[in-house]
Amino acid sequence: MNSANRFTPYVFLAPAAIIMAIALLYPLGYMIFGSFRDWNPSQTIGESEFVGLANYITLFHDPAFRESLAVTLTFAASVVFAELFIGVGLALLLDREIRGMSVLRTLFILPMMIAPVVVGLMWRFMYHPTVGTFNKWLETFGFEGVDWLGAHALFSVIVADIWQWTPFIFILSLAALQSLPRSALEAARIDGATGWQQIWHIKLPLMMPVLIVTGLLRLIDAFKVLEVILVMTEGGPGLSTEILALRISRTATEFRELGVAAAMSNYLLILLFILTVSMFAITKIQEMRSARMSRQIQQDA
């Protein structure tokens, strides 16, 4: 009877697990299989020619692919660092009893509720060289307009992403702050720790596991951004804002090279897998440090 009870949950979970495995593994296997073939939309994958690692080697020596990879890494690192800095800072600033806090939280999360296409259109109009909001402000103060989506296109796209997704970091950081053990904070205050010392030595270390996972989620999402950049710049000027997701889309639809696009997707998948494993390892280390810190604080108290 005990053995039957032990396996009962797995029996109920099995159908959902099988469906999820098929939904995940079949498209992934299809993409990996297609990456080894000279495949275009006029063929079925079975009719395409097997070319081995040719698609991967072609991409490795393709300057446009390397530039798109560099743009992707620059974009992802910039937005995640800025969003973590601003989001955590706002959470620390607003982690107190403030009248109308529920209204403030609602206002903060509004940007992330807007569809990416709408965000792209909004910022494209605000960046317009003649009628855009930003150049109108500059002209009001006697400055010349800026070609935001020209020479400064990557910076402009980064700003739009920061505006939309900093609330995500803020909400999770605030939740992490409010779940910290109050005994640790009380002990620090009794020991005479200043506000900055509490933030640097107590709050941030204890929040670190949550911040790492939050940063990882945003990092993965930043590698897959497509709609906002497509609407704002279409990857231009040149390749200055063409991230890998947009390059993959163009390779498949405009250049009609499905095998190369699949190989490019696998490169992106490998990169994200390495980042994910690394971040989880760091998270585990931070969780162990946080647990030791909490035990030490409780012993000192």
Is the predicted pLDDT of residue 161 greater than 70, yes or no? yes
Average pLDDT for 52-57: 93
Residue 43 DSSP code: S
Residue range 225-275, pLDDT digits in tens: 889 999 999 998 988 999 999 999 999 998 999 999 999 999 999 988 888
Average pLDDT for 196-225: 86
pLDDT band at 299 (very low <50, low <70, confident <90, very high): low
Question: What pLDDT, on a 0 to 100 scale, did the predictor assign at position 134?
Answer: 93
Indicate the CATH number for domain 62-300: 1.10.3720.10
In contact, 124 and 241? CB cutoff 8 Å:
no
User: Can you say how many angstroms the Cα of residue 61 is from the centroid of all Cα atoms in its chain?
Assistant: 27
Is the predicted pLDDT of residue 87 greater than 90, yes or no? yes
Structure-token pair, residue 17: 């697990």
Cα distance between residue 123 and residue 140, in whole Å: 20
Question: Per mean pLDDT, which range of 71-85, 187-201, 220-234 is the poorest?
Answer: 187-201
Average pLDDT for 88-115: 82
Tell me what percent of the residues of the chain surpass a pLDDT of 70. Answer: 95
Question: What pLDDT, on a 0 to 100 scale, did the predictor assign at position 187?
Answer: 77
Residue 181: CB partners within 8 Å, gap ≥ 6?
Answer: 206, 294, 297
Give residue 251's identity as a one-letter amino acid code.
T
Structure-token pair, residue 190: 């009794």
Give the predicted TM-score (pTM) of the model.
Answer: 0.87
Is the predicted pLDDT of residue 45 greater than 90, yes or no? no
Place of tokens 């760091």: 282
Question: Per mean pLDDT, which range of 201-215, 255-269, 275-289 is the poorest?
Answer: 275-289
Residue 299 or 152, more confident:
152
Question: Per mean pLDDT, which range of 6-10, 125-129, 243-247 is the poorest?
Answer: 6-10
Is the predicted pLDDT of residue 1 greater than 50, yes or no? no
Beta bridge partners of 50: 37
pLDDT band at 294 (very low <50, low <70, confident <90, very high): low
Tell me what percent of the residues of the chain surpass a pLDDT of 90. Answer: 43
Mean predicted lDDT score pLDDT of the chain: 87
pLDDT band at 93 (very low <50, low <70, confident <90, very high): confident
* DSSP string covering 189-225: HHTT--HHHHIIIIIHHHHHHHHHHHHHHHHHHHHT-
> Domain segments of the chain: what residues?
62-300
Question: Per mean pLDDT, which range of 46-50, 150-154, 178-182 is the poorest?
Answer: 178-182
Question: What pLDDT, on a 0 to 100 scale, did the predictor assign at position 263?
Answer: 94
